[in-house]
Amino acid sequence: MIFGPGYKLTRHKDLSLAGAFIARERLTLKGPKGEIPNVALVSSLRERTQVEISKTDGHTLGITPPVRLSGDLDGASGITLVHKGKEFYIPESVIVPNRHIHMSIEDAAKLGFNFKDSAMVVVKGERSLVFDHVLVRVSRLNDHTEIHIDYDEANAAGLQNGDRVQLFRINDKKIRLEQIISIIDEQQIESLQVCVRELVRDEKDTAKRDFLSELIKTMEDVKTSPPGTV
């Protein structure tokens, strides 16, 4: 429709996932408030057009797309695509992609992950951050493991392509609290303590409240323990 019947995108740069590439062709996104030019197209082609942007991009365009996993487009925001002066409005096409991990079968077996497990991703450094409830996608098409986040999330954590992070299965009850907390720096611990104290205050279930109280105590112990003793 945009480039004409039978048109094939021109491969420009291969992506890390098998078979995917960035095309040489570019489009402009046009929203009620503004435009974003020179937007890359990613192949392979899909049955439905999907546009992935960040929350910041949404403010620029004047739209508020939902945070969704790829392919979940029902009720998504619409957008106008512009190419060589022609405009094409595509309804239910724009999402803010939910952060996720593409994992190889080999890495999943080694790390103990299954398809659709949840992971905790811990970023250390001067802009330390914890990404919680990150969906894991295990597939034979993945020959390595990588986390996909958007520019807003990457900038918030000071991450660049190729950086390494700490990864935990948050749905694995065998992981001791100390194992998770011991890799988090003091700034993160203090932030977590504030959040957990709010949860304790609002939690009516006694067992859950006791567990959260234990978590707070563990964090206090980590903060006051000499390095290497936890």
pLDDT at 97: 94
pLDDT tens figures, 125-160: 888 888 888 999 999 888 889 999 999 999 999 999
- Higher-pLDDT residue of 191, 13: 13
Separation in Å, CA 104 to CA 75, 126, 136, 160: 31, 30, 10, 21
- Residue 169 CA, chain-centre distance (Å), reads 16
pLDDT tens figures, 119-129: 888 888 888 88
Label the pairing between strands 11-14 and 21-30. Answer: antiparallel
pLDDT at 206: 83
DSSP category for residue 174: T
Return the C-alpha torsion angle 139, 54, 61, 46, nearest 10: 0
Q: Which has the closest alpha carbon to 175: 113, 223, 125, 104?
A: 113
Which range, 10-19, 132-141, 214-223, is most confident?
Answer: 132-141
Average of per-residue pLDDT values in the chain: 86
Q: Which domains are present in the chain? A: 11-97 (no CATH), 99-173 (2.40.40.20), 176-230 (no CATH)
Q: Under a CB-based contact definition with an 8 Å cutoff, are residues 103 and 136 in contact?
A: yes
- Higher-pLDDT residue of 13, 207: 13
Task: Assess whether pLDDT exceeds 70 at residue 180.
Answer: no
> Which positions ≥6 away from 55 have C-beta within 8 Å?
96, 150, 152
Residues in the chain: 230
Q: Which tokens is 142 given? A: 């993945």
Q: Which helix (H) or strand (E) holds 152?
A: helix 151-157
User: What percent of the chain shows pLDDT beyond 70?
Assistant: 89
**Amino acid identity at 182:** S
